[in-house]
Structure formats: structure tokens, C-alpha cells
Amino acid sequence: MDAGKLIFRCTDCGQEYPGHTFMYLCPACETGNRAWLPPKGVLKTVYNYRRIGEGKDSGLLAAQLQKSRYLELLPIQHLKSLPRLKVGNTPVYNVSQHFHLEGMQLFVKDDSQNPTYSFKDRASALVSAYAREKEITTIVAASTGNAGSSLAGICASQGQKAIVFVPAKAPMAKLTQILMYGAKLVPVDGTYDQAFDLSMEVSKEFGFFNRNTAFNPFTIEGKKTVAFELFEQFVGKMPARIFVPVGDGVIISGVYKGFEDLLKLGLIETMPEIVGVQAAGSNNLASNFQKATFAIKPGVTCADSIAVDIPRNFYMACQFVDKYNGRFIEVSDEEILEASTLLSRNTGLFAEPASAASLAGFLKMKTQNSIPEKSTNLLLLTGSGLKDLKAVQSSIKLAEPISATLQEAKKILEL
């Protein structure tokens, strides 16, 4: 890679490191990390914005970046290193008419349309492309399911080997997906956090590339691409508010990072208000925001993709939310399941509970009159509902079979 293309900057101590050698965490901060606290030393990838924008007005710069698929803002040398599968470029739908919003606009960006049906493909694709350029053939990840199935699928398409550590209780659909893609699946009798730590130990021991979220700074770089797409899809006029499901704090940091890149290049003037939506049952990011000491509250939620005890990108996510006046909101499992049903029935989009949390957050803020009239709002849907059918079983009812007669059909159809 061009030596001057990027540097790494520590989120916590601010130390900068040259970008030509890959790094996971800031070595100065990493030594103080403890298993029961969010890691310090997560690195932000910083580009030479002055050089990218030099001699171009914003129209020319935007056109150039769109043409190069933002390669100047990615930590890889060639677009051809990315998977041939279609990652990103997911659709945006205006769903305002389905929700009686009285002048308010509501859009949905449907990232369940990625190759493995989740937002995580954005990170896996970039990590895999970087590994390919460095001729690394094995990539390891810990996951609650989506990141693992994503890595497995992307690696299958790139001829790389994936090793995935998951908590044994992860939903069967995600585990099946990982195995079907031919990855080595390691179920861990413990929590996601234990699987995470074990995967790091194994990577270190055998020199594998590790895709763990936030620990690998390029996961944030992959996830930021959603902001570039929104910039194009809304022709520079961003929604005022974006609702993002939050677990580890990496997706929300990715969304912020993409917009921050655009701000630094003068392509947008203001940061949208980003609302991080957490499940009240597992709210370790929201509940510790702006607190002096971090305290874990172990909990459960039907939204397994955002059930996290120790948010791996806690400090960066909080810094972004603080700096750009974002906010966190908590929603109950009941509100999530209700939103899941509403979304499916009204729009034809079947999202997993963690994704539907973004709609639950929007509806809650609307009920609280915290959303200005006539504002434009966007929900990020991060994963397909087919990934976790068990979670929504309680909200559906399967009728008893009938005999194949018109009379019986009339009865069941109430006609």
C-alpha cells in the first residue's frame, strides 16, 4: 500500500502509528486491558484527506470518489481484491406511507440484501480483501452468528479459510450457514465474550488474520461504506436522523466514520443525528455512556445479534456519539417484536429482531415527540429475519391443518 495513504490513531491515547504495517490495538493502551472491561486502544484509520481533496471542488471530488468506489478511502490497493459477490449497494425504500407519519419521512436501508444476508458482509469483504493483498489465507473471527456466517461466506467466495468461534447457543440458522460455507466452526460453551477472547488467543498463537470486530480496525472501515452509499442515494442531502441497532458499537462507529470522512473532505456540511438503539435487556453501551466507570449488567434479549456484555468498541462509539450530538435509546423485547411484525406486514421487509430494533427506536422517539415534524429519518436494517426464526415464534400462530374441502377452507378463511 502507498506508504502515505493512511495512518492509525488510537481512540484513547491519541498516539499515531504509520499505516504501512497492520496493527490491531494500540500497544501502549493494550497492556492495561482487562477481560471484564471494554478494550482500550481501538485504532481509527485516518487518511490523507488534504491530498485526496487537493485541487478539486466538491462536485469533482464526489464524482471521482464515486467512480473509484471510494478506493482512496479504503485500506486496500485494488478493488479487484474485494469479493466478486455483490457486497453493499443495498436498496433504500421510502416506507413513510405505511406508518401514518403526518409529513415525516421514513426510509429504510435494507442491508439484509448482502450475500450472507447481513450488514457484516461490508466488514468481512474488506478484511478478506486486505488479507488477499497480504497473501494471508486463514481468517479467524468470534461471532454471535452474523459476523461468523458473513466471514464464512466471503472467505468461501475468495478461496480463503475461515475459522469461526461462536457461543454454542447461537441460532441454528446462523450455525448452519457457517457450516454450509465450509468454515471450521468452533462452538464455545460460554458467552460471546469468552468466544471472542479465545479466538484472539488462537490467532496470536498461529499467526492467523483476525476479523474480530473493532479489534481489527478495518471492520470499521468496511462498515463505513454504508455512509458513502447513503451520500449517493440521497444526493448529498442526508436524512436528519439515522437509527442504528447497537451491540458492540462497531456498526454505529462505522456509520459515523464514513460520514466523518465525508465531512473532512467537505462533501457534507453536517453530521446526521445518529440514534443508537439498544435492547433494554442488553444495554451495556447505552447504560454506561458518559459514566465514570464501566459496569456490566448481564442480561438477555430476543435480539441475539445485539446481545453483548462487553461492547468491543465502547470508547470509540461513545466518543462519536458525544462529539456529534448523537444519542442512545433503549427498547424492550416487546417493542422489538412488535416492530418486527409491523415492519414485515407493512413493508414486506422481514428483518431479524436486532434490525427491527431500529424501527422500535424510531417509534419510541416519535411517541415521545422527540422527532421534529417533516424531518427525514432512516432505519438501518442489518440482518434478515430468516436468520433467527425462533425469536419471532411467539408473534405468529400456525393454524391446525384442515381437510382438503371447500367447506373447511371457507371456515378457516372466515368467508
Taking CB under 5 A as the rule, does residue 42 contact Zn ion? no
Residue that the C-alpha cell 457457517 belongs to? 178
Taking CB under 5 A as the rule, does residue 276 contact Zn ion? no
Query: Dihedral of the CA atoms 191, 295, 10, 45 (nearest 10)?
Result: 50
By C-beta, is 228 or 315 nearer to Zn ion?
A: 315
What is the closest distance, in whole angstroms, from the C-beta atom of residue 42 to Zn ion in the complex? 9
- From CA 313, how far away is CA 93, in angstroms rounded? 29
Taking CB under 5 A as the rule, does residue 29 contact Zn ion? yes
Contacting residue, 26, 227, 321, 351, with Zn ion by CB under 5 A:
26
By C-beta, is 13 or 172 nearer to Zn ion?
A: 13
C-alpha angle 353/359/360, rounded to 5°?
Answer: 75
Q: Could you tell me the three cell numbers for 204?
A: 496470536
What is the closest distance, in whole angstroms, from the C-beta atom of residue 349 to Zn ion in the complex? 41
What is the closest distance, in whole angstroms, from the C-beta atom of residue 12 to Zn ion in the complex? 5
By C-beta, is 28 or 52 nearer to Zn ion?
A: 28
Taking CB under 5 A as the rule, does residue 38 contact Zn ion? no
By C-beta, is 13 or 386 nearer to Zn ion?
A: 13
DSSP 3-state assignment of 311? Answer: coil
What is the closest distance, in whole angstroms, from the C-beta atom of residue 40 to Zn ion in the complex? 7
* Residues sharing a CB contact under 8 Å with residue 408, sequence separation 6 or more, in sequence order: 402
Taking CB under 5 A as the rule, does residue 13 contact Zn ion? yes
Q: Return the exposure string of 1-11: e unless at least 16 CB atoms fall within 10 Å of the residue's CB, then b.
A: eeeebbbbbbb
Residue ranges of the alpha helices (H) in 184-313? 192-206, 218-223, 225-233, 250-264
Taking CB under 5 A as the rule, does residue 46 contact Zn ion? no
Contacting residue, 19, 38, 39, 41, with Zn ion by CB under 5 A:
41
Tallying the residues shown for the chain, one arrives at: 415
What is the closest distance, in whole angstroms, from the C-beta atom of residue 319 to Zn ion in the complex? 13
| Contacts with Zn ion, 66-95, as mask; x by CB under 5 A | ------------------------------
- From CA 111, how far away is CA 383, in angstroms rounded? 6
Residue that the C-alpha cell 463505513 belongs to? 224
Which residues from 199-258 bind Zn ion, rule CB under 5 A?
Answer: none
| Segment contacting Zn ion by CB under 5 A, of 8-16, 64-72, 337-345, 366-374 | 8-16
What is the closest distance, in whole angstroms, from the C-beta atom of residue 47 to Zn ion in the complex? 19
What is the closest distance, in whole angstroms, from the C-beta atom of residue 195 to Zn ion in the complex? 25
| Segment contacting Zn ion by CB under 5 A, of 38-46, 72-80, 138-146, 393-401 | 38-46
Taking CB under 5 A as the rule, does residue 28 contact Zn ion? yes
By C-beta, is 170 or 250 nearer to Zn ion?
A: 250
By C-beta, is 26 or 274 nearer to Zn ion?
A: 26
Site size toward Zn ion (CB under 5 A) is 8
Q: Computed over its alpha carbons, how large is the radius of gyration of the chain?
A: 21
What is the closest distance, in whole angstroms, from the C-beta atom of residue 251 to Zn ion in the complex? 23
CA 245 vs CA 78, 101, 278, 330: distances in Å? 31, 21, 6, 10
Query: Dihedral of the CA atoms 223, 224, 225, 226 (nearest 10)?
Result: 80
By C-beta, is 17 or 234 nearer to Zn ion?
A: 17
- From CA 109, how far away is CA 248, in angstroms rounded? 20
What is the closest distance, in whole angstroms, from the C-beta atom of residue 217 to Zn ion in the complex? 12
Rounded to the nearest angstrom, the gap between the alpha carbon of residue 210 and the centroid of all alpha carbons in its chain is 17
CA 120 vs CA 17, 39, 398: distances in Å? 27, 21, 32
Taking CB under 5 A as the rule, does residue 10 contact Zn ion? yes
Are the beta carbons of 166 and 187 closer than 8 angstroms? yes
By C-beta, is 27 or 182 nearer to Zn ion?
A: 27
Q: Return the exposure string of 276-296: e unless at least 16 CB atoms fall within 10 Å of the residue's CB, then b.
A: bbbbbbbbbbbbbbeeeebeb
| Segment contacting Zn ion by CB under 5 A, of 6-14, 193-201, 263-271, 294-302 | 6-14
Residues making contact with Zn ion (CB under 5 A): 10, 12-13, 15, 26, 28-29, 41
